[in-house]
Amino acid sequence: MRAVRYHEYGGPEVLRVDEVDRPEPAADEVLIEVAAAGVNPVDTYFREGGYEPFTLPMVTGVDAAGEAVSVGPDVVGIDAGDSEEPRSSGSRLEAGDAVVATGLNKDHYGTCAEYVAVPSDRVVELPAGADPVAAGGAGVAAVTAWRALIDHAGLEPAETALIHGGSGGVGHAAVQLAATTGARVVTTAAPEYHDRLEALGADAVLDYARDDLREAVEEASAGGPDVILDHRLDDYLQFDADVAAHDARIVGIGENDPAVGFTNDGAARGKDLTFQFMSMYNTPDLSRPLERVATLLGEGELDIQVARTYDLDDVAQAQRDVMSESFLGKLVVTP
């Protein structure tokens, strides 16, 4: 099969398409014929050596969607409720099921390939009617948004959420997830994306470059947001503390240093703010939030916007674009 691998750390030029053996799934794994694989900034961190995968050469890619080709005997999946019990044998994953997966490329080979074997705690069934190409771009973005807003921040109906960078992969998923909770959603983005973000569920979209952004956020959130999702901590963490409501929860993602520009002054101490810095890779069981994401994809409540698709030969360009281009939504590889 064809797979995009890096044999050494470096820039996009170290990626190459290799002919490799099709993986043999272990007893607790699902072999997926990949229909789509999302492109994420974290792919570049692994490729550059900032995050170290378990071995080299490594197949790049964290997310995938496609068809289960074979299913190990120990794979039973989980249900969509809160029980930790496995799904009944009548609903176990089977060959031929549409599936979506995430969390690869760290301790397991990645997804930019014709086939990938995925551990059972990182793959769930994709409901009928969900677009597999869009689902291929859902994993990191939507699971990170879910973990930030629901698991860490506990966003509730009638609260206000501020989503920095609403046009990004995580941002545009977070706008939609926050809207489904019944919260008021305020987000920032370049002007060309405002109408589309309003269509995705944002109540107020603000130009992040405006000089009066603090006043605009406070006005749009009736005094300050209850929950803030921030992916540029070095630029906005002090801003977050300044605009937040009393008892607000601020969740930070990304690689930026939260200490840069943050004074921990009275704006933070005086409001009893809660700060949480997170990574999707610390999720105890990725299949739990991924199941929720898959359900929302199937119900049409989550619409992953695919800005551009690439084939395997163009993965290097896709990884350049994900770090340098402006677009709304996700870039996706279609092997």
> CB 69: neighbour CB atoms within 10 A?
15
CATH number, domain at 226? 3.40.50.720
CATH number, domain at 318? 3.90.180.10
Tell me the CA end-to-end span of the chain in Å, nearest whole number.
Answer: 10
CA neighbor of 139 nearest in space, from 150, 152, 155, 123: 123
- Last residue in a domain, options 280, 296, 312: 280
Amino acid (1-letter code) at residue 130: A
Same domain for 134 and 145: no
Beta bridge partners of 274: 249
- Last residue in a domain, options 265, 280, 295: 280
Does the reported pTM lie above 0.85? Answer: yes
pLDDT in tens, the chain (335 residues): 999 999 999 999 999 999 999 999 999 999 999 999 999 999 999 999 999 999 999 999 999 999 999 999 988 754 433 334 444 333 578 999 999 999 999 999 999 999 999 999 999 999 999 999 999 999 999 999 999 999 999 999 999 999 999 999 999 999 999 999 999 999 999 999 999 999 999 999 999 999 999 999 999 999 999 999 999 888 889 999 999 999 999 999 977 666 666 766 666 678 999 999 999 999 999 999 999 999 999 999 999 999 999 999 999 999 999 999 899 999 999 99
Same domain for 46 and 72: yes
The answer to whether 325 and 196 are in contact (CB under 8 A) is no
Question: Could you tell me if residue 177 is inside a domain?
Answer: yes
Same domain for 173 and 66: no
Check residue 83 and give its pLDDT: 37
The answer to whether 225 and 243 are in contact (CB under 8 A) is yes
Instruction: Report CA Rg, the chain.
Output: 20
Total domains present in the chain: 2
Question: Could you tell me if residue 286 is inside a domain?
Answer: no
Question: Could you tell me if residue 71 is inside a domain?
Answer: yes
Neighbouring residues of 302: CB distance < 8 A, sequence distance ≥ 6? 138, 142, 173, 176, 177, 180, 293, 296
Same domain for 165 and 187: yes
Same domain for 269 and 156: yes
Q: Tokens standing for 20?
A: 């490799």
Same domain for 111 and 10: yes
Neighbouring residues of 179: CB distance < 8 A, sequence distance ≥ 6? 185, 200, 201, 202
Same domain for 43 and 25: yes
Check residue 27 and give its pLDDT: 94
Question: Could you tell me if residue 297 is inside a domain?
Answer: no
Neighbouring residues of 236: CB distance < 8 A, sequence distance ≥ 6? 164, 230
> CB 181: neighbour CB atoms within 10 A?
17
The answer to whether 161 and 186 are in contact (CB under 8 A) is yes
Same domain for 14 and 120: yes
Question: Could you tell me if residue 126 is inside a domain?
Answer: yes
Domain membership of residue 319 as a residue range:
2-138+304-333
Peptide bond into 57 cis (omega under 30): yes
Question: Could you tell me if residue 288 is inside a domain?
Answer: no
Question: Could you tell me if residue 294 is inside a domain?
Answer: no
Question: Could you tell me if residue 292 is inside a domain?
Answer: no
Same domain for 120 and 90: yes
Same domain for 127 and 6: yes
The answer to whether 304 and 134 are in contact (CB under 8 A) is yes
> CB 67: neighbour CB atoms within 10 A?
16
Q: Tokens standing for 300?
A: 């049409």
Same domain for 108 and 20: yes
Q: How far apart (Å, rounded) are the C-alpha atoms in residues 247 and 225?
A: 10
Check residue 140 and give its pLDDT: 97
Q: Tell me if residue 204 falls in helix, strand or coil.
A: strand
Same domain for 271 and 226: yes
List alpha helices for 261-331, DSSP H.
266-269, 287-299, 315-324
- Last residue in a domain, options 280, 295, 313: 280
